[in-house]
Chains A and B, each alone.
Chain A
Amino acid sequence: MSNYLPILIMIVVGVAFAAVSIVASNLLSPSRSTAAKSAPYECGIVPTLEPAERFPVKFYLVAMIFVIFDIEIIFLYPWAVIFGQLKTFGLVEMVVFAVAVVAAFYYLLSAGALDWGPANRLRQAGPPDRTLASTIRRVPAAAEVGGGEGTGTGEDPDVVAA
């Protein structure tokens, strides 16, 4: 049990430090707020835009695809450096890895992850009986969607589905 004592003390000290810091800064510091102080912190740069700016969700898809290939490159570099020593084993393993990534990449392409603009191809790929009305009907209720009636009237049925 005595083994746990240092950990316990550590936890107590940690919690106490955080608590004392917050309480002390509230009690001791003068509160003179200026516009610059109350502005959202953006790495020291003066923010020029409202934070809630809309931008396409495709951005995230591209970012995620980038991360996948970034990781592959991270593995490829050290592999290339010691390729001579790894011999056939290294080649086989890297081919297996690359095939998996390429298969995933091909899936992403076919799913339209790199198509910018309205997803026309996707809409065609859906079942023929699926129309704007049928998709909206499947969404439970207005309360469920959170007043989402407006979203249904948009031009892209995938907005409702997503």
Chain B
Amino acid sequence: MMLASSTLPVPHVAYSVIGPEVVMVVGALVLLTIAALRRSPLPHAFTTSLTCSVAVVSLVWSLHVWSRVVGAGKHGFTAVDSAIAVDGFSALILVLVSVALFLSALASASFLRRESMEGPEFAVLLMLSSAGAMLMGAANDLIVLFLGLEIMSIALYVLAGSNLRRRQSGEAAIKYFVLGAFSSAIFLYGIALVYGATGSTNLSAIATFLTTSVIVHNGVLLAGMAFLLVGLGFKVAAVPFHTWAPDVYQGAPTPAVSFMAAVAKAGGFAGLLRVVYSTLGTLQIDWKPVIWALAVLSLVVGAVLAVVQRDVKRMLAYSSVSHAGFVLIGLAAASGRGIAGSLYYLFAYTFMVIGAFTVAQVVSGTGDSRHDLEDYRGLIRRQPFLAIGMSVFLLAQAGVPFTTGFLAKFSVVSAVAEAHSYALAVIAMVSAAIAAFFYLRVVGYMFSTGTGGEASAVVQPGAGTASVRFSVGDAPSAAPLPAFEHSAAAVAVMDEEVVASVGTTPALAEAPAAPLFAGVPFGPAVVIALSGAVTVVFGIWAQPLLDFARHATLLF
């Protein structure tokens, strides 16, 4: 049809606004080529510093994009033949993904060295996956959104299976891949149906079509919307599309999980918020109940199932399901404030989850296997820095005041209360209370010094001796002693004499108070410190980050 004309209309590619994505892809290709040119494996220090530099360049560029669209008299626009939306929302996702890549890459170096995972693949896949998530945030066309989704997901499938020496890693990759490919297919079918109903895949065009015309029989459109919800709901691990999350989080290499938890969630929610709230805004009456149900299910199922987990990574997986519920609350409010709340939640969550998984990564030890709650017992004695960091992240995730986690929960719940959806607000608070239990349980384990049984068993009658035990330095060492029966441990708690006699064994004779940074490699230490600082500082000095989310408005 167009062949007859001498020139085709070609889109103007505005490289200045897709720069962050381009930087990521170029960085990945350069690293891949450098690694291919060398005969010996690249040192991890080089790989990590290159990835971090790419993340920093991308972050600066993203902030530049932000400064172009946010501010007095500035507004969002579309680029590349209106396939890319440049607005505060997309700029915030660009910033978020850049930050997440920086933190994950920095934390992963020591892990890769420890697990003897040579080669540049891990870093390359991190960068490619980030490019995909950024594209999802900036997409103004369903096809571009799908492209971003696939670029992000395929890299994540491989990342999940990148620890070749662990069988669980392969299992996680296969599960994630099969279920993810299935959900992508459903998403694609949703795109087809929406295209069939509206005549366009462009999000602005769909929105314009829906506001200017009335569809009498909107079955196809609703089915398309439902399929889009399924596809994106899978990526963000909202119940009932969450079943992959615990297995994948448990099996995948821990730095890959921290990246996945932050970036896949950000990318998925970027797509979800833009498509559902902004593009299908006129169908509010149809999607609001669906989002409401997804949010309630995610909140309740995530919190309740997390309580029964013994594996910390699985527990964090269910907690991420519950966090997805909270972000969905902002969407269920269907207001500008709700969207801002969701974005703030995503931003705060990025730091909390990367921090928590980085601690888990260091605690897990060689083989990436020590993830049981018991492995966290007495962490404060062995590795105080990790215990303090983990406490900050878990308390923030539980929503303790003076952390970003509290403000995040507050902003989405207040937005939904403002929208007169009080039932959802109440359910959210109840689920937060349930969730607080399992967060505090881990904190309890870390600060307890008992040698067996539940953490609560430590607090027996005779609190005086117990408190003495906490203050006296040479009480039982933090190293778990499986030989002790539960009763023996309880006696040890009660009786200083027994403690003294037990203290002669070599394991207990070690110096009890470890130095602050004991056994924490440099990279994870920086990541934990940075994430913890952001979580606490912006929890107290709240306004800048809240404004950041508030100005991240959608294009239309």
Q: Which residues of A approach B to under 8 Å, CB–CB?
A: 3-4, 6-7, 82, 85-87, 89-90, 99-100, 103-104, 106-107, 109-111, 124-127, 130, 138-140, 144-146, 161-162
Contacts and interface: CB of A to CB of B under 8 A. Distances in A.
A111 B29 CA distance: 15
B472 interface: no
B164 A125 contact: no
Given A6-B219, A90-B10, A140-B367, A127 B33 contact: no
16 contacts: A3-B219, A3-B222, A4-B219, A7-B219, A7-B223, A90-B10, A100-B29, A103-B29, A104-B29, A109-B36, A110-B37, A124-B39, A127-B116, A138-B367, A139-B165, A140-B165
Nearest to A140: B367
A138 B235 CA distance: 33
A127 B118 contact: yes
A28 B507 CA distance: 73
Contacts of A107: 32-33, 35-36
Interface in B26-45: 29, 32-33, 35-37, 39-41
A125 B167 CA distance: 24
Given A3-B217, A82-B8, A85-B2, 16 more contacts: A3-B219, A4-B219, A82-B3, A85-B8, A86-B8, A86-B10, A87-B7, A103-B33, A106-B33, A107-B36, A110-B35, A125-B41, A138-B367, A140-B367, A161-B164, A161-B165
Contacts of B118: 126-127
A82 B1 CA distance: 12
A61 B390 CA distance: 42
B5 interface: yes
Main secondary structure of the interface of A (DSSP, over half): helix
Contact of A85 (B7, B116, B165): B7
B369 interface: yes
B6 interface: yes
A107 B121 CA distance: 10
Interface in B191-218: 217-218
Q: How large is the interface on B (under 10, 10 to 19, 20 to 34, 35 or more residues)?
A: 20 to 34
B8 A3 contact: no
B3 A4 contact: no
A4 B10 contact: no
Contacts of A124: 39
Contacts of A144: 167
Contacts of B369: 140
B83 to A, nearest CB: 14
10 nearest CB pairs, A to B: A110-B36, A89-B10, A107-B36, A103-B29, A85-B8, A3-B219, A107-B32, A106-B36, A103-B33, A85-B7
Interface of B: 2-3, 5-8, 10, 25, 29, 32-33, 35-37, 39-41, 116, 118, 164-167, 217-219, 222-223, 367, 369
B39 A125 contact: yes
A96 B146 CA distance: 21
Given A85-B6, A107-B33, A127 B41 contact: yes
A130 B25 CA distance: 32
Nearest to A138: B165
B32 A104 contact: yes
Scoring A85, A146, A162 by chain B CB atoms within 10 A of each residue's CB, the highest score goes to A85
Contacts of B25: 100
Contacts of A87: 7, 10
A81 B207 CA distance: 35
Contact of B164 (A7, A145, A162): A162
A104 B29 CA distance: 8
A4 B8 contact: no
A108 to B, nearest CB: 8
A154 to B, nearest CB: 16
B29 A99 contact: yes
A130 to B, nearest CB: 8
Nearest to A128: B40
A10 B61 CA distance: 50
B335 to A, nearest CB: 25
B25 to A, nearest CB: 8
Nearest to B168: A144
A11 B166 CA distance: 41
The residue in B3, B29, B37, B222 that gathers the most chain A C-beta atoms within 10 A of its C-beta is B29
B33 A4 contact: no
Contacts of B217: 3
Contacts of A162: 164
Contacts of B32: 103-104, 107
A14 B217 CA distance: 22
A122 to B, nearest CB: 10
A111 B5 CA distance: 46
A101 to B, nearest CB: 10
A161 B164 CA distance: 6
A119 to B, nearest CB: 14
A109 B36 CA distance: 8
B177 to A, nearest CB: 14
Contacts of B165: 138-140, 161
B349 to A, nearest CB: 32
A85 B5 contact: yes
Nearest to A108: B36
A86 B369 CA distance: 55
Nearest to B219: A3
A100 B128 CA distance: 12
Contacts of A161: 164-165
B196 to A, nearest CB: 15
Query: Which of A89, A90, A130 counts the most B-chain CB atoms under 10 A from its CB?
Result: A89
